[in-house]
A and B are shown apart, each in its own frame.
Chain A
Amino acid sequence: CQLFGYVGIEAVLDQMKVKTMKMGFEFNIMVVGQSGLGKSTMVNTLFKSKVSRKASQPGQDERIPKTVQLHSITHVIEEKGVKMKLTVTDTPGFGDQINNENCWDPIIKYINEQYERYLREEVLITRKRKIPDTRVHGCVYFVPPTGHCGGYPGVLGALSWDGGGVGRLEAMVPHLPQIQEDLKAHAISLYPQQDFDQDPEDRALNDRIREKIPFAVVGADQEHQVNGKRVLGRKTKWGIIEVENPAHCEFPLLRDLLIRSHLQDLKDITHNVHYESYRVRRLSES
């Protein structure tokens, strides 16, 4: 139907913004990888705050645990009036043992537990106005910088098949083509999945991202002076690696993907696709 004059329907967008700012957001991210790969530093760099405690800090009673243990910390951060409840789940002990068979089991168990929690809340007769969301929205998998590590495709395969829960990867390595081939060979589907591209614009944007996966990143939480500006970087004897400089590493790509452009999309796919397929499986079980 043709509108003959201004009505004010578009004001609904502002209404939505106000509502969501009041409600706040939840975001749950998981980092998977062997110890020493820089997971904690990366998370701190991403969110520009001391979200994770680093395992390598001296004086801490941190020893590599004998089994994979999942460790979640929740913080509240605020920017431009937007409040975000951020939960980071760490996986110390992953891939660190001599025998790493099935080291992904605790991870999958955790992911499914979160889906189960949400499902239970959803089927209650009297349910909460806002169901607390602890489901993992994104899993960042750190591939060691050696180019290949024992059986990592196996791990990713297990993660992306079970629960359909995981399948997002950005990692830290220079041997890009080899890894991309490996991933394809094992039919591992990573975020952003091609099936969920909604329109040509989306597809173009996501194709560019898919080309670059896995991202080669460097994390740092110390600032240095470079050309009169203060930048985050790692100081080495041969120069300062600027973390946020796209010419030095692909950290900006990771950050933009995760936070600035695709955060809502990650949550939507978790809710509409992965959670739904968990629910179907669970309800068909009986």
Chain B
Amino acid sequence: QNHGYRTLSLSGHVGFGSLPEQLVKKSIKQGFCFNILCIGETGIGKSALINSLFNTNFDDPVSTHFLPRVQLRAQTYELQESNVLLKLTVVNTVGFGDQINREDSYQPIVDYIDAQFEAYLQEELKINRSLFIYHDTRIHVCIYFISPTGHSLKTLDLLTMKSLDSKVNIIPIIGKADGISKTELQNFKNKIMSELVSNGVQIYQFPTDDETFAEMNTIMNGCLPFAVVGSTKEVKIGNKVVRARQYPWGIVQVENENHCDFVKLRKMLICTNMEDLREQTHARHYELYRRCRLEEMGFRDTGPENKPVSLQEAYEAKRHELYLELQRKEEKMRQQFVQRVKEKETILKEAEQQIQSRFEHHMLMHQEVKQKLEKKKKILENEIALFIEKKANAELLQSQASISTPVVGLKRDKDRK
């Protein structure tokens, strides 16, 4: 950056030595963003580790072993230490390694990471954008939990890490490391590292170019993968209360460097290299994603004759493409709408017909019933007429008979009755 420019010497105090402070002051006002992705099998201690790392108790429900698919669950927390505000997002892989067929275990993870890059890219490409207030969700570090088998990496581990190593900074750690003895541990670590190297997996290297941190980072690079123990419980030891796991044979203290590498992890992750992790994510992984994506979308830096394509042309082409896409969608929607209307009309017509036929049916029934009733009415009327006739005849006979003998009449009465 400073090639070819004369260096001037200052004859007095100017005052721009305060520039880093000005920058820091701005950053404090804006706050920091840090996004961690934890990949590991259910029950390997992801939540316990995060709780221990940030010395707090995040609300994280325990997950079951019976999920059919790997899901990613992200939760954001706001932490404050002195005057630094940190927006921490922890993404957990739920159900990783639980399925019988684990072929697709890592695809959801890759998709998630890409989705965050995509969201940032979309914001960056907008015409009216506000990048400085954008909530950055890109994953800055991926902590990969290796099972403490003591032997070697699983195929799933290798495949997953290989598919992620060009997209995110990977820090491998051995989870629940209190189950491995000291001698086994070093062999295990060596085995893991040599497997990673022989499979070409690029894990995150702590930077060694700046003299302030170079020495420490170099040593730490040699301690990878960190063997960690996490705990959400506290135990009283002496007169202090510390995070620990209590066993019948002893107490494993999380923050004791002789017991596990937890302190190393916290130092590297937070105290020393948080900024570098963020920068690598932005300058390397994101740029790679962006380049591939833009090329995919058809953008080029140089046109067909190797001449630089002007900004105007590129955006014109893109705009045209989008316009065509919009038209297509509109047409599709219109057709769908017409289709739906037709369908609805048919249904309504059918319903109408049904009602019509039922109406006719009812009318018929009504007619039938009416006819039946008419018949009955006629029959009854006939009977009534007959009865009246009979009655009239009987009355006539009676009146004739009552003029003769009353006894006979009585008899006749009886007969009649």
A residues with a Cβ closer than 8 A to B are 1-13, 15-22, 24-25, 27, 46-51, 74-85, 119-120, 123-127, 129-130, 132, 198-199, 232, 255-256, 259-265, 268, 272, 276, 279-280, 282-286
What's the least CB distance linking A24 to chain B, in Å? Answer: 6
What's the least CB distance linking B31 to chain A, in Å? Answer: 11
CA distance A279 to B130 in the complex (A): 12
What's the least CB distance linking B72 to chain A, in Å? Answer: 21
Asked if residues A125 and B270 are in contact (CB atoms below 8 Å), the reply is: no
9 further A-B pairs in the complex, CB-CB below 8 A; given A3-B54, A75-B8: A7-B270, A11-B272, A77-B16, A81-B17, A124-B301, A261-B18, A263-B19, A263-B22, A280-B127
Asked if residues A3 and B22 are in contact (CB atoms below 8 Å), the reply is: no
Identify the interface centre among B20, B25, B81, B83: most chain A CB within 10 Å of its CB.
B20
Asked if residues A77 and B8 are in contact (CB atoms below 8 Å), the reply is: yes
Contacts of A255 on B, CB cut-off 8 Å?
A: 14-15
Number of interface residues of B (CB under 8 A): 76
CA distance A13 to B28 in the complex (A): 8
Q: Does B84 belong to the interface (CB within 8 Å)?
A: yes
Contacts A8-B266, A85-B2 given; does A127 touch B287 at CB 8 Å: yes
Contacts A10-B81, A19-B279 given; does A75 touch B5 at CB 8 Å: yes
**Proximity string of chain B (287-319) to chain A, C-beta cutoff 8 Å, 1 when within and 0 when not:** 100110011000111000000000110111001
Q: Identify 12 residue pairs between A and B in the complex whose beta-carbon atoms are under 8 Å apart, listed by A's number.
A: A2-B56, A8-B270, A9-B84, A10-B82, A25-B16, A50-B8, A84-B19, A263-B19, A264-B19, A264-B23, A280-B128, A286-B316
What 9 pairs between A and B have smallest CB-CB spacing?
Answer: A80-B17, A15-B275, A8-B271, A264-B22, A11-B271, A260-B15, A49-B8, A5-B55, A48-B12
Interchain CB contact (< 8 A) of A276 among B77, B129, B272 = B129
Asked if residues A48 and B14 are in contact (CB atoms below 8 Å), the reply is: yes
Q: Does B163 belong to the interface (CB within 8 Å)?
A: no
Asked if residues B275 and A48 are in contact (CB atoms below 8 Å), the reply is: no
Query: Taking chain A's interface residues, is the majority helix, strand, or loop, or is none over half, making it mixed?
Result: mixed
Asked if residues B8 and A16 are in contact (CB atoms below 8 Å), the reply is: no
Q: Does B347 belong to the interface (CB within 8 Å)?
A: no
CA distance A54 to B277 in the complex (A): 47
Contacts of A48 on B, CB cut-off 8 Å?
A: 10-14
Closest to B81 in A: A9
Asked if residues A261 and B54 are in contact (CB atoms below 8 Å), the reply is: no
CA distance A83 to B17 in the complex (A): 9
Contacts of A12 on B, CB cut-off 8 Å?
A: 32, 84, 86, 270, 274-275
Q: Does B73 belong to the interface (CB within 8 Å)?
A: no
Q: Does B210 belong to the interface (CB within 8 Å)?
A: yes
Q: Does B24 belong to the interface (CB within 8 Å)?
A: yes
What's the least CB distance linking B84 to chain A, in Å? Answer: 5
CA distance A85 to B2 in the complex (A): 7
CA distance A228 to B311 in the complex (A): 61
Asked if residues B279 and A17 are in contact (CB atoms below 8 Å), the reply is: no
CA distance A125 to B19 in the complex (A): 31
Asked if residues B55 and A76 are in contact (CB atoms below 8 Å), the reply is: no
Asked if residues A47 and B14 are in contact (CB atoms below 8 Å), the reply is: yes
Contacts of A17 on B, CB cut-off 8 Å?
A: 20-21, 23-24
Q: Does B1 belong to the interface (CB within 8 Å)?
A: yes
Contacts A123-B314, A280-B127 given; does A79 touch B78 at CB 8 Å: no
Asked if residues B299 and A125 are in contact (CB atoms below 8 Å), the reply is: yes
Q: Does B120 belong to the interface (CB within 8 Å)?
A: no
Asked if residues A79 and B17 are in contact (CB atoms below 8 Å), the reply is: yes
CA distance A9 to B28 in the complex (A): 12
Closest to B84 in A: A10
Contacts of A16 on B, CB cut-off 8 Å?
A: 20, 23-24, 27, 275
Asked if residues B54 and A126 are in contact (CB atoms below 8 Å), the reply is: no
CA distance A82 to B301 in the complex (A): 35
Closest to A271 in B: B132
What's the least CB distance linking A40 to chain B, in Å? Answer: 14
Interchain CB contact (< 8 A) of B210 among A9, A22, A264, A280 = A22
